[in-house]
Amino acid sequence: MSTATTTHGPVERLRGIVPDAEIAAITPLIEEIEELKVRRNAVVLAHNYMTPDIFHGVSDLKGDSLALAKMAAETDADVIVMAGVHFMAETAKIVNEQKTVLIPDLEAGCSLADAVTGADVRLLRERYPGVPVVTYVNTSAEVKAESDICCTSSNAVQVVESLGAERVIFLPDQYLGRWVASQTDVDVILWEGSCMVHERFTAEELRAYRALNPGIQIIAHPECPQDVLAEADFVGSTSGMINWAKTERPRQLVMVTECSMSDNVAAEVPETEFIRPCNLCPYMKLITLQKIRDSLLEMKHEVHVEPEIAARARIAVERMLAVQI
Ligand code: 13P
Ligand code: SF4
């Protein structure tokens, strides 16, 4: 699920979301980014974990990993600035090779992408001959290239079931893999990877929120451990969680995920009180307005994927995009 930014100007969109004094301070930077976007024929794609100044301000399109991949494949712009992490920028390059893809900070990685290598996938294939490999998009292009199909948190169950196999290898997130296994009859072979942000939530803290706030609703991302997900009223991708909040509009809500999500959605659901356990993704938070401006000004940091790897990775990503959800 993606959201196109509204027709209001970027500064106007921040009113009521970001304090007025802060808006005044960042307005020159936002104007510079808008001018550069026109000059470069560029779009800024923003993940749901970006801070509100980026998410509501300078982004042209925003969403979860699946939406960002689709938007990158479809854009007419010459330049894509990925306000997200490196695997998202690499995926954009894989699906739209002729575009220039920029990531504002090269250090914006992901603990899941670091958890598995192409060599690991080759070894798994030797160990489980004939078993298809389903790979979360939170991986390097090299890992995608060794995989049969990719998935995201919003389509993982449908992707696994689309293969018609009795068993699949699921990489690299053990918790998302366990969540998928709980939703399907397919036998799921897991890997040991985890998200450094979501694995820190505990079932105990969620029970404490419930005890203190009767009637509170809890929604969680499937990268969380199983006992945490067992406490949740809804489990879904980042966009799935945002949509749930906008539809259900509960009196009190805990979003068990990266904490910028609550900041971004709170303005659109004013009647809901957000209780915010604040786990930040240190990689997502490397992306700032200043770095987006610099990336457009100096055309840095351009993301390259070796053509032979990109061609194989594209097959796995496009197979995923063809799965109906
Ligand atoms: P989504 O695809 O749900 O946005 O998740 C991406 C991610 O990195 C969550 O930590
Ligand atoms: Fe990776 Fe977790 Fe950060 Fe998402 S929140 S980018 S999975 S480290």
The domains of the chain, with CATH numbers, are 2-109+284-298 (3.40.50.10800), 113-195 (3.40.50.10800), 198-274 (3.40.50.10800)
What is the Cα–Cα distance from 242 to 46, expressed in whole angstroms?
14
Q: Is the CB of 65 under 6 A from ligand 1?
A: yes
pLDDT score of 321 more than 80? yes
Q: Is the CB of 59 under 6 A from ligand 1?
A: no
pLDDT score of 175 more than 60? yes
pLDDT score of 6 more than 80? no
What are the φ and ψ backbone dihedral angles of 55, each rounded to 5 degrees?
A: -60, -50
DSSP E strands in 84-212: the ranges are 100-102, 133-136, 149-151, 167-171, 187-189
CA of 317 to the centre of ligand 2 (A): 19
6 vs 64, higher pLDDT:
64
Q: Is the CB of 260 under 6 A from ligand 1?
A: no
Residue 260 has a pLDDT of: 92
Residue 277 has a pLDDT of: 85
Percent of the chain's residues with pLDDT above 70: 98
Adjacent-strand bridge partners of 151: 136
Entry pTM: 0.95
Given strand 61-63, what is the order of strands in its sheet?
A: 2-4, 61-63, 42-47, 79-83, 100-102
What is the Cα–Cα distance from 15 to 114, expressed in whole angstroms?
38
- 193: tokens are 């990877």
What is the Cα–Cα distance from 102 to 77, expressed in whole angstroms?
13
Query: Confidence class of residue 8 from pLDDT cuts 50, 70 and 90?
Result: confident
pLDDT score of 5 more than 90? no
Q: What is the pLDDT of residues 258-292, one digit of tens each?
A: 999 999 999 889 999 999 888 999 999 999 999 99
